[in-house]
Amino acid sequence: MARPKIALIGAGQIGGTLAHLAAMKELGDVVLFDIAEGIPEGKALDIAESGPAEGFDAALKGTSDYADIAGADVCIVTAGVPRKPGMSRDDLLGINLKVMKAVGEGIAANAPNAFVICITNPLDAMVWALREFSGLPHEKVCGMAGVLDSARFRHFLSLEFGVSMKDVSAFVLGGHGDTMVPLVRYSTVAGVPLPDLVDMGWTTKDKIDAIVQRTRDGGAEIVGLLKSGSAFYAPATSAIEMAEAYLKDQKRVLPCAAWCDGVLNLKGLYVGVPTVIGAGGIERILDIKMTKDEAAMFDHSVDAVKGLVEACKGIDETLA
Ligand code: APR
């Protein structure tokens, strides 16, 4: 049987890391696409040359021709510009919207059956625009944010408790931005919810509040340290987890930016929610119950995403 084909649109920091991870995990053959001359070819060759020592079987190709992504099973989109210190994700809107148009049309023409994972920021608005420009089914287009945000939350919690990250699960809802909603009640250590751990004296509410805020600011913390560019190792790893769930029909329960129409009181919006990812793409959305406070935070986040979608419509009238 032929190996799956994974197209990576954007061969920058995240794109290159995605290619390396996909090859090392033998998820399929990899096509790296970018408009920057020589970059996709150079990275593809460099990673291919790591194959003998690493011992993986995967073909890697770099290209600037959309025809080379033909028939891709998965497309992961990182094309666009990342943040610089002092910029919010929303500052990227105008530039990256134009990029989503080109990418959406390229995918529609060459890989219309692919499962598409968008990473480009501002995430929730860009995944919406990419779906609109590509015309692919909503369940086959999603955005990577929740896996990364909850990974950051899990990492910080594991440091606080001095336990393995493997035993910490975390739940993050809403848009990928300052309004994201880390749900403390649904976040656990080996099944024990965080409020119970406060009662047990393992931590304090103030410390949990600080960790929630650090999670919200997780991307900015990395941008501030790197000075040029934004995070790429953890974003790439998170998207690979989602791609693997699709390719292997794992039915993983993963938070991601999914099309919500008739769930969580939403009528047609991409926003971060818990989903089931399998061979059908986004197969299901968990229509969870929220407390009044949680619902208020979620609504605030939803309003922020709606504002960005409206801004996109103002920039490109074909989206209105
Ligand atoms: N088509 C294809 N590739 C493009 C296009 C386009 N129209 N426009 C830009 N690119 C490429 C750039 O040439 C660059 O190689 O996208 C790549 C982006 O890579 P980086 O600048 O290294 O950015 P990266 O850190 O990978 O982040 C990409 O993901 O997390 C988000 O905010 C981040 O929006 C940013 C995206």
Q: Distance, CA 223 to ligand 1 centroid (Å)?
A: 15
Assign domain 146-313 to a CATH class: alpha beta
C-beta of residue 256 within 8 angstroms of C-beta of residue 262:
no
CATH of 5-144, one of 3.40.50.720, 2.40.50.140, 3.90.100.10, 3.40.50.2300: 3.40.50.720
- Pocket test of ligand 1: the residue of 21, 39, 64, 81 to mutate, having most ligand atoms within 8 Å of its CB, is 81
- Pocket test of ligand 1: the residue of 8, 14, 97 to mutate, having most ligand atoms within 8 Å of its CB, is 14
Q: Distance, CA 32 to ligand 1 centroid (Å)?
A: 12
What proportions of the chain, in percent to the nearest 5, are helix, strand and coil? 50, 20, 30
Rg of the chain in Å (alpha carbons): 19
Closest ligand 1 atom, residue 96 Cα: 34
* Residue 13 assigned to a binding site: yes
* Residue 34 assigned to a binding site: yes
Q: Hey, where are the domains in the chain?
A: 5-144, 146-313
Residue 70, phi then psi, degrees to nearest 5: -50, 130
ipTM: 0.99
C-beta of residue 74 within 8 angstroms of C-beta of residue 6:
yes
| Ligand 1 interacting residues, C-beta cut-off 6 A | 9-15, 34-36, 39, 78-83, 92, 96, 99, 102-103, 119-121, 229-230, 232, 235
Which spans in the chain are helix H? 13-24, 39-48, 51-54, 93-110, 123-134, 146-161, 194-199, 205-216, 218-226, 233-247, 292-315
Q: Distance, CA 188 to ligand 1 centroid (Å)?
A: 34
pLDDT tens-digit readout, 147-200: 999 999 999 999 999 999 999 999 899 988 888 998 999 999 999 999 999 999
Closest ligand 1 atom, residue 102 Cα: 7
Task: Report the sign of the C-alpha dihedral through residues 313, 316, 318, 319, in that order.
Answer: negative
Closest ligand 1 atom, residue 232 Cα: 25
Which structure tokens are listed for 16? 């290159």
C-beta of residue 185 within 8 angstroms of C-beta of residue 192:
no
Which structure tokens are listed for 237? 């790893």
Ligand 1 atom 10 nearest Cα? 79
pLDDT at site 91:
85
pLDDT at site 47:
98
Q: Please report, for the chain, how many H helices and E strands are present, in that order.
A: 11, 14
Residues of the chain with pLDDT under 50: none
pLDDT at site 39:
98
Q: Distance, CA 118 to ligand 1 centroid (Å)?
A: 11
* Residue 119 assigned to a binding site: yes
Ligand 1 atom 32 nearest Cα? 82
Count Cβ atoms below 10 Å from residue 281 Cβ, excluding itself: 22
Residue 20 falls in the annotated catalytic set = no
CATH topology identical between 5-144 and 146-313: no
* Residue 14 assigned to a binding site: yes
Say which residues have a Cβ less than 8 Å from residue 124's Cβ, sequence separation at least 6: 143, 145, 175, 176, 177, 257, 270, 271, 272, 305, 308, 309
Closest ligand 1 atom, residue 83 Cα: 32
